[in-house]
Each structure stands twice: as structure tokens, then as C-alpha cells.
Structure 1
């Protein structure tokens, strides 16, 4: 009987803990993490966020950016923010751009904000992995709708479906 009660208690705790995580407002958590002096302005109520973690050394990250830039332009004027985070310093990006002067980001970009990177990567680790690029989709209420890894046409389609469902005209 004690074993059964213990198992039920553990299961209840796990079930309750899982639900708590689902109700975390990640917009609020990110705004706290960005801080007031961040190059990324606060995420506002009613905004949807498409977040990307990438690096200059990541081939798949670099290959997907032109396609993502097209999506950014397609959804301009809608209630959506596109944010890109790299744990590399800005100087690394500037050196990369000298080698690739055609490389552009249509996103809002943040470099070296390790607190933000750690918060965002913790979402991905909860789902059992760690690699980049990481995509995080956050709805208007601040809830994480999806987190996925990799640069692929399937992931581009996931992002477009999310935006078609969640982004709206201002």
C-alpha cells in the first residue's frame, strides 16, 4: 500500500510540475532576461515571437537565414517579432560578414547575451536535445507552442503554419 501511495504521489507531482511549466509566460521570462539595456526591446502583449538560436560556424544555420528573411518580409506589419540569438560576440559576426558581405539578417539580432541563450536553450533541453539552429515559437499569450532543431524545409513549413495561425494584422 505504501508503494502504491508513493507511486501515486510521484505521478501527481510529475503531472502537476509538467502543467506548471506549460503555463510559464516566456515573454515575461525573456523580458526579465533581456534587461532594460538590451538591444532587443521587450516583447509586448499580443505579439507572436519566432526565435532562432544560431552561430556563424553553423552551416545549416547560415543556409536557412535567406529563407527565414523571406518569411520576415512576408509577415511585416503583422503582430510578430523575429529574434535571433547567438552566444558569439558581435566581433565574431563582423569578421564573418567581412568574408560574406552578402549575408544579411532581417531579424532583430542579439550577440553574447548568455543569460538569454541559457533561458532559450533550457526550453530545447526540456525536449531532450541540444543542437542548433533551435527554433522557438511563442504565441500571443507568451506560451511556447513549439521548439525544434534544425534547418529544413519541414521546419520552415512549421514556422509558416504557426504564423498563419497566430500572427495577425496590427
Structure 2
């Protein structure tokens, strides 16, 4: 999963202040069941190092800037911390990506901390559904407990001060973000069974498409934008779901909330990425009536509407979540 908190950490990686001094580091990785023949390391200044594979091992020595980085194998990614003189040696099994990450060598402490935090955060997020069913006081107590443990772990490991300075505010923001997530789920739950807000938006293929015109079918709606990284990450999964259910009584509708000035960007994006389903462009980005009535304050947001026009789930599972297939199978098969 690692969706909510990981994205917050990733945003800190982009904004984390850096020194101008270049640092020289060595990165070596031995990966079982690899997803790709290359790795990419993204640094604070959008630095990218592609590491070709040789004899089953990725290895490169390069210059970057001290701070948070992200490595990706093209399918999954993880955060690490690099500083001058580091000689990191990573071992992992790509089939159990997060669970098997282990660093050794100079500078390993910080990156091992980030890997373990990702695991802890993922386990907490997996418990969110159960916590959502409880009262607000219980949820807030769980958040406070997590925050206390995260701060204790951060302070007890003797980590690089720059990393500690970067992560501390993130831990504080996690509590706020997850509280907003809780409130969003509660609002969405109250909408189930009520008539869905409607739309009548420009269709990429021409003309306009309204929600009413799809009555009689289930409608899975993706509210997204071309600038939204997490939205784009869901596209390959959405394509697979669309393909799996193309013969069923369901329509897949993607509503872009890009600004009007980015209309042409949306047109080209849909064409170049060969996006399927019904591709629509909202009339007033975040201020579109459909978006406001669903109280959407973060994207991607997925919504499932029933054949009778009533809301089945106002905050439906993402395409990348196995629970979406379970939900659709229960309704369509």
C-alpha cells in the first residue's frame, strides 16, 4: 500500500533544503527477481543516475547532493538517504520489495531507518479500514501512539541531523493528513445510498457526456489531473481493470480537473497515453460542482455509482487495490 505517508515523505524529498556542495557516493545493489535491468536514483536536484546491470549486480559511483533520494526499479520505489563518502550495499528480493530491503556499508543506518519506517507506515495504513469503523477518539489515540513511537525511533538511532530535521515535520504532518483522511472517509460513508451529484462534461472523443446518460450501468469514476503523480501511477492498474471488466455492465469514467489553460495538455496526454474508458474534462477544475458536492480535496479520488444513479461508494478502492476487484466481482459476477 504505502500510499498516504509515503507520498508525504516523497514531498519532503522534493522540498528538503540542500547544500550546494557535491557529494560522492557509491551505490551497489544485488536484487533477486528483479523487475528491470536498470535502476534509477532520483536526487534532490532532480538528478538521475541510471545503473546498468552487470553480472547480476547494479553498481555506480556518482556525485549528488546530501539528502533524501528515491530509487526505482520501474515498478516500485523506496526512499534512501545519501551523504558524502557513503558506500551503500543493498540486497533485496523484488517480489517482496519493502519487506526484504537491507543496507550494509557506510551510511547504511539512515537508509535502513527509512526502509523500516516504510514498513511500519504500511502496516498502519493496512489497519486504517478497521480504525475507520471505530469512533474518532479511538482513531486519534492510535494516531498519537504512532506519532510517539515514530519520534522515539527517530531520536534513538543516532541518525544524520539533516535526516532528522527532514523527517520530524513529516511525522507531525502525518497526523494531520491521516486525520483528514479519516474525516473524508466518514463524510463519504454518509453519502452511500444517496443520489450521486451529476456532471455533463466535455468528452475527449467529442461532444459532452453526462452521468444521466450512463444510467442503467455501474459507473466507476476517477477524478484526476495530468500534474498528479499518484493519479498517473494508477493508470496502468486502471487499464487492467477496464480490460478485465469490459464485457460487464460497467463504465469507467475519468474526469480531469486540470485548469482550462492546460486543456491542450490534457488532450495530448489522453491521446499519447492511449487512455481508455470515457475521458472527460471538468468545467471548473477544483471548483466544478461535481467536485465540490463530493467534497473532494485530494486526488486521485475514485467513486462508484450504481445503475440507479445512487452512490455505492463515494471513496472507492483504487485500481491498484485488490479490494476493488473484490468489490466489482461482488456486484458484477
Q: Which blocks of at least 5 consecutive residues in structure 2 are unaligned?
A: 1-189
- 1:151 is displaced (CA, Å) by 5.4
Separation (CA, whole Å) in 2 of partners of 1:122 and 1:134: 13
Counterpart secondary structure, 2:279: strand
Q: Give 2:323's match in structure 1, choosing from 155, 158, 166.
A: 158
Q: Which blocks of at least 5 consecutive residues in structure 1 are unaligned?
A: 1-19
CA contact (8 A) 1:139 1:166 kept: no
Structure 1 residues 104-163: Cα deviation after superposition (integer angstroms, max 9, x where no partner): 21120101333994324422x2xxx6100000011223221223388573xx32321221
Indicate how the Cα distance of structure 1 residues 165 and 149 shifts in structure 2: closer, same or farther if over 3 A, else same. closer
Matched, 1:73 2:243: yes
Matched, 1:142 2:313: no
CA contact (8 A) 1:140 1:166 kept: no
Separation (CA, whole Å) in 2 of partners of 1:140 and 1:93: 29
CA contact (8 A) 2:237 2:319 kept: no
Separation (CA, whole Å) in 2 of partners of 1:140 and 1:39: 16
Matched, 1:83 2:253: yes
Matched, 1:93 2:266: yes
Separation (CA, whole Å) in 1 of partners of 2:234 and 2:264: 22
C-alpha RMSD of the superposition: 3.2
- More RCO (CA 8 Å, sep 6+): 1
Higher strand share: 2
How many pairs are equivalent?
Answer: 135
- 1:40 is displaced (CA, Å) by 5.0
Runs of 4+ in 1 over 6 A off after TM superposition: none
Higher helix share: 1
Choose 1 or 2 for highest CA Rg. 2
